[in-house]
Amino acid sequence: MKTQLISGVQNIIAIDLVKKETFQKKRQENLKSKKTSVSNEIILPQDTLEISPESMRAYKESQQPKPDVDPLTNAELLSQTFEKKEIHTENTLNSGEYLEIVNEIAKAMDILDNVSAKVVKLMPTNVKKESSIHQDLLTPVNNDYHESVQNTSNQELQPFSPERNIFDVSQGPNL
């Protein structure tokens, strides 16, 4: 190393230009590489912070192969979604509105109970049993009608009289 100690001064040396440039170059290169590594260290955590767990989960799910979706299944899912929305709407009723609806339903239930009770009470007196209905059908409703029918049939079915349908050929045509 071509260095020369300056006489009388401990911390001064004489160097050539090559050594001076070497010192300068080494520092510049080292600072440049330090900047690059530091900037990488800064960028990586920032990128990591930008990805939330939900985003990461959604990304992983999107990367998984999707099964074939049945259109019917889609329709079912849509209807389920629609029903859920309806439920959500009902849930938005305030307590007064909700109680009013419950009371209306209770009234309607009472009315139905009363009606069914009355029907049960009326059943034994006004509704005939099936056996009696069959018997009624076999008995004549109007005796006069049956008698007239019998008379009419008797007249139409008179006994056959051979004399009335025989022509007397021996007397010749009656012209």
Partner 1 sequence: MEYIDIKLPSGEVINVELISYFKIISTGKNYLFYTKNEVVENNLIKMYVTEIIPAGTVFNVSDKMSDEEWTGLKNIMKSILTGSNNEDIIYLEIGES
Q: Which residues bind partner 1 (CB under 8 A)?
A: 1-4, 6, 10-17, 19-20, 22-24, 26-27, 30-31, 34
Q: Rank residues 36 and 116 by Cβ distance to partner 1 and give the closer one.
A: 36
CB of 22 to partner 1, least distance (A): 6
Neighbours of 13 (CB within 10 A): 13
Which residue's CB is nearer to partner 1, number 10 or number 64? 10
Instruction: Quote the least distance from Cβ 61 to partner 1, whole Å.
Output: 46
Residue with smaller CB distance to partner 1, 31 or 108: 31
Would you say 4 or 80 has its CB closer to partner 1? 4
| Residues 47, 38: Cα–Cα separation, whole Å | 15
Contact (Cβ atoms closer than 8 angstroms) between residue 153 and residue 147? no
- Provide the minimum distance between the beta carbon of 6 and partner 1 in the complex, in angstroms, as a whole number: 6
Residue type (1 letter), 83:
E
Least gap, CB of 43 to partner 1 (angstroms): 20
39 and 29 in contact (C-beta within 8 Å)? no
What DSSP letter does each residue of 94-156 carry, written as one string? -HHHHHHHHHHHHHHHHHHHHHHHHHHHHHHHHSPPHHHHHHHHHS-S-HHHHHHHHHHHHHH
Residues contacting residue 19 through CB under 8 Å, at least 6 positions apart: 1, 2, 3
Nearest to partner 1 of 10, 52 (CB atom): 10
Report the half-sphere exposure of 112 (CA within 13 A, side-chain side): 6
**Smallest gap, in angstroms, from Cβ of residue 39 to partner 1?**
14
